[in-house]
């Protein structure tokens, strides 16, 4: 279920639309399982996922003056190992990503689909939040895009790095749902313990989640009819629409 967290920034208007672009097979999987798939963070495809900017990494090499001389070398050594610790954390975090936009995105269609046989689920931020009915704690918020060469991230919470991405990804306008499974063994953190393999399936309320389904631009008529048939087969009455990107210009 949704859980508040200070690291996760909420949009000013929770009625804003959010979108998830996918191929037809993933739609069928969603309808069948009634679950969203949260992918392990280190399998997202972005090598910077969960990492810290240059400013943060450089700051680890500065020993605070209040640390006494006998402890300064051990402090510095622990800071040098922090990068390894941070990198390992990605194996214990899983995310599910949405695009926040009041309109369809031509760029998102091209990014997430390799053919015209795809769909986009349109929801709202509020509906997404309410749909998270699984008993597992789930955090939700907007990703912040920064310059990793000149800007920093608040290092006081381990989840901060997972809610920041490079400005190169700013076009994604990502809303991210996140789960963390702490690797605990014998009442202590053990990063070698496996808590997430490839990802996690999280139960959702489909009726709350989906407002309507859009069929990809340039897709043949039979794709739209197939989507309607499959949605009806699973007992849903979601509105099915063809992408507005195919509407002819008026001139």
Residue 150: inside a domain, yes or no? Answer: yes
Supply the DSSP symbol for 167. G
Name the residue range of residue 47's domain.
17-246
- Read off φ and ψ for residue 180, nearest 5 degrees: -120, 130
Residue 87: inside a domain, yes or no? Answer: yes
Residue 6: inside a domain, yes or no? Answer: no
| Model pLDDT, residue 141 | 98
List the beta bridge partners of residue 166.
146
List the beta bridge partners of residue 35.
203
Nearest Cα neighbor of 57 from 75, 80, 77 is 80
Residue 12: inside a domain, yes or no? Answer: no
Residue 117: inside a domain, yes or no? Answer: yes
List per-residue pLDDT tens for the chain, 251 residues long.
999 999 999 999 999 999 999 999 999 999 999 999 999 999 998 999 999 999 999 888 887 777 778 777 777 777 777 888 889 999 999 999 999 999 999 999 998 887 778 999 999 999 999 999 999 999 999 999 999 999 999 988 989 999 999 999 999 999 999 999 988 877 778 888 899 999 999 999 999 999 999 999 989 999 999 999 999 999 999 999 999 999 989 99
Number of domains forming the structure of the chain: 1
| Model pLDDT, residue 85 | 85
List the beta bridge partners of residue 212.
122, 239
Q: Where are the alpha helices (DSSP H) in the chain?
A: 24-33, 54-59, 69-89, 106-112, 125-131, 206-209, 221-233
Nearest Cα neighbor of 94 from 49, 154, 155, 31 is 49
Nearest Cα neighbor of 93 from 2, 4, 151, 159 is 159
| Model pLDDT, residue 160 | 96
Residue 63: inside a domain, yes or no? Answer: yes
List the beta bridge partners of residue 164.
144
| Model pLDDT, residue 97 | 97
Answer yes or no: are the C-beta atoms of 176 and 96 closer than 8 Å.
yes
- Strands 212-215 and 139-142, how do they pair? unpaired
| Model pLDDT, residue 47 | 94
Distance CA 148, CA 55 (A): 8
Distance CA 42, CA 30 (A): 23
Supply the DSSP symbol for 60. T
Distance CA 36, CA 29 (A): 9
Residue 39: inside a domain, yes or no? Answer: yes
Residue 11: inside a domain, yes or no? Answer: no
């Amino acid at each position: 279920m949704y859980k508040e967290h200070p690291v996760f920034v909420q949009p000013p208007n929770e009625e804003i639309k959010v979108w998830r672009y996918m191929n037809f097979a993933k739609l069928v999987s969603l309808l069948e399982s009634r679950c969203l798939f949260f992918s392990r963070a280190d399998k997202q495809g972005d090598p910077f996922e969960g990492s810290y900017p240059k400013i943060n990494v450089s700051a680890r090499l500065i020993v605070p003056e209040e640390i006494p001389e006998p402890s300064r070398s051990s402090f510095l050594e622990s800071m040098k190992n922090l990068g390894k610790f941070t990198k390992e954390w990605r194996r214990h975090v899983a995310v599910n990503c949405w695009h926040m936009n009041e309109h369809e995105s031509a760029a998102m269609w091209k990014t997430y689909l390799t053919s015209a046989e795809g769909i986009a689920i349109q929801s709202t931020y509020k509906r997404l939040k309410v749909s998270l009915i699984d008993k597992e704690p789930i955090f939700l918020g907007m990703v912040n895009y920064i310059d990793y060469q000149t800007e920093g991230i608040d290092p006081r919470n381990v989840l901060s790095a997972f809610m920041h991405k490079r400005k190169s990804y700013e076009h994604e306008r990502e809303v991210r749902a996140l789960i963390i499974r702490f690797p605990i063994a014998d009442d202590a953190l053990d990063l070698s313990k496996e808590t997430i393999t490839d990802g996690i399936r999280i139960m959702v309320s489909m009726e709350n989640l989906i407002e309507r389904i859009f069929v990809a631009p340039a897709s043949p008529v039979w794709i739209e009819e197939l989507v309607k048939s499959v949605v009806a087969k699973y007992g849903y009455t979601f509105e099915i629409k063809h992408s507005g990107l195919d509407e002819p210009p008026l001139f």
